[in-house]
């Protein structure tokens, strides 16, 4: 289901006119990375559609979904270094997958361990100096700029994962809140695309936001399937 929804979103972004120019007229004019990005939308949309419709093994569908996300993180127009965007994508997808499984298997230990590990990695993303100062220090500097409301707004948005991660920790530690897992996963789905929209300076970032949402959605639900199978084997559910 998630792969099908993601595929439809990718195909919609692929087919929508850019500046009033239809896709079949635009493709011959594109060169380099813009050509690659546009073809990624079309090819990944068709592949994920086929994977959602055809009776393929769940693991194969999961591999395709994860590959689509990492391909987009590599070629997409995101204002982050490649190691940082890949790290954020991997942690977000695994955290969401653990929350999705946890909501359906509240007493299982495997998704709990995976989820807690991802929570610790989220903390690490704020503390690891990917380029320049620590992300948490840079965010605090933006938050305390007295004459720049836009920077403060962006800093607050960058700190929004903190309460979500705290709630995810409670979901994974206590079985009583496990039902919130899927809701929290959808909040994570929305955060990355929302950041791109806030930072957008041209219409291409809107397309990038939708594509980021679609690929993260597909990868998270794709990872949830093998994680659920692993839970059934290890935890006896």
Contacting residues for 5 by C-beta, under 8 A, at least 6 apart: 214, 217
pLDDT of residue 201: 57
pLDDT attached to residue 117: 93
- Name the pTM for this structure: 0.86
Structural domain for 71, as ranges: 2-235
Q: What is the pLDDT of residue 44?
A: 93
- C-alpha span between 62 and 210 (Å, rounded): 20
Q: Which regions of the chain are under pLDDT 50?
A: none
Model pLDDT, residue 16:
86
CA atoms of 173 and 153, how far apart (whole Å): 31
pLDDT tens for 111-131 read: 989 999 999 998 888 887 776
Position 136 scores a pLDDT of 81
**Domain total in the chain:** 1
Q: Where are the alpha helices (DSSP H) in 54-148?
A: 58-75, 82-104, 110-127, 135-143
Angstrom distance (rounded) from CA 204 to CA 211? 11
- 231 vs 237: CA distance, rounded Å: 7
Summarised one tens digit per residue, pLDDT across range 179-219 is 888 888 888 888 877 766 666 556 677 888 889 899 999 99
Per-residue model confidence (pLDDT) at position 224 = 93
């Amino acid at each position: 289901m998630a792969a099908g929804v993601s595929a439809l979103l990718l195909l919609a972004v692929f087919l929508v006119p850019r500046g009033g120019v239809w896709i079949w007229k635009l493709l011959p004019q594109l060169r380099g990375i813009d050509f690659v990005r546009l073809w990624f939308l079309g090819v990944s949309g068709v592949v994920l559609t086929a994977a959602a419709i055809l009776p393929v093994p769940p693991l194969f569908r999961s591999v395709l979904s994860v590959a689509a996300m990492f391909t987009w993180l590599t070629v997409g127009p995101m204002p982050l270094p490649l190691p940082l965007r890949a790290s954020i994508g991997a942690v977000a997808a695994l955290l969401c997958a653990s929350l999705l499984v946890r909501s359906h298997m509240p007493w299982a230990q495997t998704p709990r361990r995976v989820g807690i590990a991802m929570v610790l990695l989220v903390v690490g993303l704020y503390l690891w100096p990917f380029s320049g100062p620590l992300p948490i220090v840079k965010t605090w500097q933006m938050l305390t700029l007295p004459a720049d409301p836009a920077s403060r707004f962006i800093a607050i948005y960058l700190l929004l994962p903190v309460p979500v991660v705290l709630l995810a920790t409670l979901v994974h530690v206590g079985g009583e809140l496990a039902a919130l897992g899927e809701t929290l996963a959808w909040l994570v789905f929305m955060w990355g695309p929302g950041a791109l929209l806030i930072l957008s300076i041209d219409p291409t970032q809107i397309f990038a936001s939708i594509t980021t949402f679609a690929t993260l959605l597909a990868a998270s639900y794709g990872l949830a399937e093998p994680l659920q199978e692993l839970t059934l084997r290890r935890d006896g559910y």
